[in-house]
Amino acid sequence: MFELTRRDGLARIGKLETPHGILETPALLPVVNPKLGTVPPRELFDDFGFKAIITNSYIIRSDEKLKERALNEGLHAMLDFPGVIMTDSGTFQSHMYGEVEVKNEDIVSFQRDIGSDIGTVLDIFTEPEWSEEKTAHAVDVTIARTEDAAKLKEKMLLAGVVQGSVYQNLRENCAKRLALVDVDVHPIGGVVPLMEQYRFADLVDVIISSKKGLDPSRPVHLFGAGHPMIFALAALLGCDMFDSASYAKFARTDRFMFPEGTAGLQDMKGLHCHCPACSSHTYEEIVKMKPAERSAIIARHNLWVSKCEIERVKRAILEGDLWELAERRCRAHPALLSALRRLEKHREFLEQYEPLSRDNSLLYTGIETLNRPAFLRYSKRFFARYEYPSSEALVVFEDSTGKPYNRYREGEINKVSAKYNAHYMVHSPFGPVPIELDEIYPIAQSLFPTSEDVETKEYSKTQMEKMSHQQPYPITMMWDEENTMDALEMMCQEAPAFDLDKARVKAVADYQFGKGAGEAFLNGEVKIVKSKSTGKIRNVLLNGEHILSMRANDGFFTLRPPGAKILLQTFPRPRLRVIVKDDAVPFNREGKNVFCAFVEECDKDLRLTDEVLVVDQKDNLVAIGRAMMIREEMLSFQTGVAVKVREGVKE
């Protein structure tokens, strides 16, 4: 069983239960060649801390001695590795050398019999140059073999490989069909040639089309991905496991791996590396060594660097800055930059996994940042949900001061609002930002360079133009100091009426929960409590009841039960709701979290970290909390927290 513990977008930290203990993901499984023994498995476990490795059952089975030992002693004793051992099936050998002499049933049974923790089907390696017809046939055979293998697996976990070459329809279709088979891990296969040829943009398409079809509750392994420069991007797209033979292969040709790319020993001027393998040697020593000795050190360097990068990715998932890390890593090589740019094509899919907010600010790292789902999210919600306050004039400021905008433009706003019925927007890199949305993520929690590039100018201009066709104001102008004041004096007739606090409650509520939420929250006697130290809204009371609190860090609301009840009346089922099974209701009313197994249904438009209404079958409010998963995940995981409950609601 696979359980998520933390996540950011599609990237996740999870735990996979195996016969030899829990494998924490993201994980890199070094490839152990049972015949070569570049780095002994025991050393991988004890010194490097790799808790899982992958080896090849086809190589073991083809060697009489190894075969006998594996069957008699078991794989773990034979390799002297106490952790998780995954085995591959011989498919890669067929890619390298043509047909292999083994049957699917035999190799799967063999993996089971030698005590592999995760065995692999004998899938068909779909080569990038194959025709669609040939690929489709290979996918059919792979699926049939996966079905056969599932009947043989017993306690062993089984890896069902997604094939389909570069045909996205075939990949998605293969993934969908595999999701129905009783397997435990989904490697994405047939991608080694793409990586060898630096076709990383095509790799992005392959990963995303596979992810679209797969069951989200199963871990995804990117077969043959062993270069640290790809880990951040692959993890960002939802790959949980990697395996690497590259550490040893690169070492044999004197190549050092780094997250920024590869360096050949002959091109290096020194080691400049402080990993445990390099730190006990000088560059000159390594150059003078015998090849075998040298490659043993370089292989260890490659392992340390890979291990370190996996840890870096993990840290980024925990801290919420994996996008920034992936963007930085993708600047290591133009082919990776192409991959980053390819994400534009997949913005809609990625947006489904984009949380409402993150703890960290969004850092602009270059024009590709404009493709991040945070931009699409803001644009979609602004244009679909925002209602313009009824003022006479719209004053637009340039984004040239600090954030939040209302604080930095306080002088101008007060001056105009004292005399005229005006509303305010900022022309920001995200496009138009109404002054009352200036504190929400990512508007306030984002940093851009002071010199704007052409692409950002173009993006925000397009968004501004779209807004200008939609906005209802008879008078609009860019702020230009006294010239604006003079113009307003000539044109405006209405008395001042703009109430920033109420406008903020309405706009944030509509943006966060949907159009109509704001009006419902303000329908009665409203009291807005503000922080004495920061001047920011803290609480909203309606008819004497505390309905909402505003979070200082991301500018969104947390719901109180009376506020949740208003939403329940305003939006029809299942909107904003997670509907739980009857057995769970008493626990959730006590304030316990909602676990996936107890989710009956869920709003498909809920996003990660969204405030949710936990309701029973009859739509009674049971609890309020934050969504830790999106709908498909809640419905497919068997374990894990679906909603982190903040407050239970008694009957």
Binding site for Zn ion (CB under 5 A): 273, 275, 278, 301
Q: How far is the CB of 411 from Zn ion (least distance, A)?
A: 55
Q: Does 164 bind ligand GUN (CB under 6 A)?
A: no
Contacts of 141 (CB under 8 A, 6+ apart): 124
Q: Does 246 bind ligand GUN (CB under 6 A)?
A: no
User: Contacting ligand GUN (CB under 6 A), which of 88, 184, 611, 616?
Assistant: 88
The region that residue 362 occupies, defined by phi over 0 for left and psi between -120 and 50 for alpha, beta otherwise, is beta
Q: Does 26 bind ligand GUN (CB under 6 A)?
A: no
Stretch that binds ligand GUN, among 188-196, 353-361, 487-495, 563-571 (CB under 6 A): 188-196
189 binds, among ligand GUN, Zn ion, none (CB under 5 to 8 A by kind): ligand GUN
Q: Does 224 bind ligand GUN (CB under 6 A)?
A: yes
CA distance 609 to 354: 9
> Strands 431-434 and 422-428: what pairing?
antiparallel
Q: How far is the CB of 218 from Zn ion (least distance, A)?
A: 35
Q: Does 125 bind ligand GUN (CB under 6 A)?
A: yes
Q: How far is the CB of 156 from ligand GUN (least distance, A)?
A: 15
> Strands 611-615 and 641-648: what pairing?
unpaired
Contacts of 371 (CB under 8 A, 6+ apart): 340, 341, 343, 344, 347
Which uninterrupted H or E stretch holds 613? strand 611-615
CA distance 87 to 98: 20
CA distance 122 to 163: 12
CB-based contacts of 36-40 (< 8 A; 24+ apart in sequence): 36/248, 38/247, 38/248, 38/251, 38/295, 38/296, 38/299, 39/248, 39/296, 39/299, 39/300, 39/303, 40/80
119 binds, among Zn ion, ligand GUN, none (CB under 5 to 8 A by kind): none
CA distance 135 to 473: 57
216 binds, among Zn ion, ligand GUN, none (CB under 5 to 8 A by kind): none
Stretch that binds ligand GUN, among 148-156, 189-197, 394-402, 414-422 (CB under 6 A): 189-197
Stretch that binds ligand GUN, among 88-96, 101-109, 164-172, 630-638 (CB under 6 A): 88-96
What's at 147, amino acid-wise? E
User: Contacting ligand GUN (CB under 6 A), which of 91, 173, 210, 445?
Assistant: 91
User: Contacting ligand GUN (CB under 6 A), which of 161, 206, 273, 437?
Assistant: 161
Please say which residue, 146 or 428, places its beta carbon nearer to ligand GUN. 146
Stretch that binds ligand GUN, among 57-65, 89-97, 394-402, 479-487 (CB under 6 A): 89-97
The two structure tokens encoding residue 149: 């293998």
Instruction: Determine the residue with CB nearest ligand GUN.
Output: 189
CA distance 225 to 12: 17
Whether the CB-CB separation of 221 and 243 falls below 8 Å is answered with: yes
Q: How far is the CB of 305 from ligand GUN (least distance, A)?
A: 21
Q: Does 135 bind ligand GUN (CB under 6 A)?
A: no
278 binds, among ligand GUN, Zn ion, none (CB under 5 to 8 A by kind): Zn ion
- CA angle 252-192-267, nearest 5°? 35
By CB under 6 A, what part of segment 325-364 binds ligand GUN? none
273 binds, among ligand GUN, Zn ion, none (CB under 5 to 8 A by kind): Zn ion
Q: Does 223 bind ligand GUN (CB under 6 A)?
A: yes
Laid out side by side, the sheet with 475-478 consists of: 431-434, 422-428, 393-398, 475-478
Q: How far is the CB of 256 from ligand GUN (least distance, A)?
A: 23
Q: Does 56 bind ligand GUN (CB under 6 A)?
A: no
Please say which residue, 270 or 411, places its beta carbon nearer to Zn ion. 270
Contacts of 27 (CB under 8 A, 6+ apart): 51, 52, 240, 241, 242, 310
Please say which residue, 227 or 589, places its beta carbon nearer to ligand GUN. 227
3-state class (DSSP) for residue 634: helix
Please say which residue, 304 or 375, places its beta carbon nearer to Zn ion. 304
Q: Does 226 bind ligand GUN (CB under 6 A)?
A: no
Count residues binding ligand GUN (CB under 6 A).
13
Stretch that binds ligand GUN, among 184-192, 289-297, 456-464, 598-606 (CB under 6 A): 184-192
Active site residues: 88
Beta-bridge partners for 351: none
301 binds, among Zn ion, ligand GUN, none (CB under 5 to 8 A by kind): Zn ion
Q: Does 242 bind ligand GUN (CB under 6 A)?
A: no
Please say which residue, 198 or 383, places its beta carbon nearer to ligand GUN. 198
Q: Does 120 bind ligand GUN (CB under 6 A)?
A: yes
Q: Does 190 bind ligand GUN (CB under 6 A)?
A: yes
Q: How far is the CB of 28 from Zn ion (least distance, A)?
A: 16
Evaluate the CA torsion angle 397, 401, 403, 406 in order and state its sign: negative
Of 327, 501, 502, 357, give the one whose Cα is nearest residue 442: 357
Of 642, 13, 15, 22, give the one whose Cα is nearest residue 319: 13
Radius of gyration of the chain measured on its C-alpha atoms:
28
Of 584, 516, 49, give the one whose Cα is nearest residue 306: 49
Report the interface residues with ligand GUN, using CB under 6 A: 88-89, 91-92, 120, 123, 125, 161, 189-190, 192, 223-224
